[in-house]
Amino acid sequence: MLMPKKVKFRKQQRGRRAGRTKGGEYIAFGDYGLQAVEPGWVTARQIEAARIAISRHIKRGGKLWIRLFPDKPVTKKPLETRMGKGKGNPEEWVAVIRPGRVLYELEGVDLPTAEGAMKLAANKLGIKTRFISRHEPLS
């Protein structure tokens, strides 16, 4: 499971998700990519599920880059606990995604295979995404 090896602080505040991404908005490594269209949190489980979906679809062909990492802890209080008594314990790790961020990149496969793989991956994520290609101008 994806998570940081070590963090400076155990708990973090929720933060804001407004505005476009601060970098990572173009295809840097592969030929095809999956780009976020809306802001949100993507959990470590979703990132891994999408990675598995892509790698199964391309059947050991091509190379995959994961351009996001879950470095934000999300806390949850136990069920049926009264309010107060401090913040809950870290339960999961999320990546904060803003519009424009390239999430995954693929290389070494043909266009229909890449589109199919990214469509499967997009279904696993909790945010709206779009398929982009290095060879087409961004619209």
Burial 67-90 (b: 16+ CB within 10 A, else e): bbebebbbeeeeeeeeeeeeeeeb
First to last CA, the chain: 35
122 vs 116: CA distance, rounded Å: 10
Non-local (6+) Cβ contacts of 101 within 8 A are: 21, 24, 25, 35, 36, 67, 68
Local confidence pLDDT in tens for the 139 residues of the chain: 788 899 999 999 999 878 888 888 889 999 999 999 999 999 999 999 999 999 999 988 899 999 999 999 999 999 999 999 999 999 999 999 999 999 999 999 999 999 999 999 999 999 999 999 987 665 5
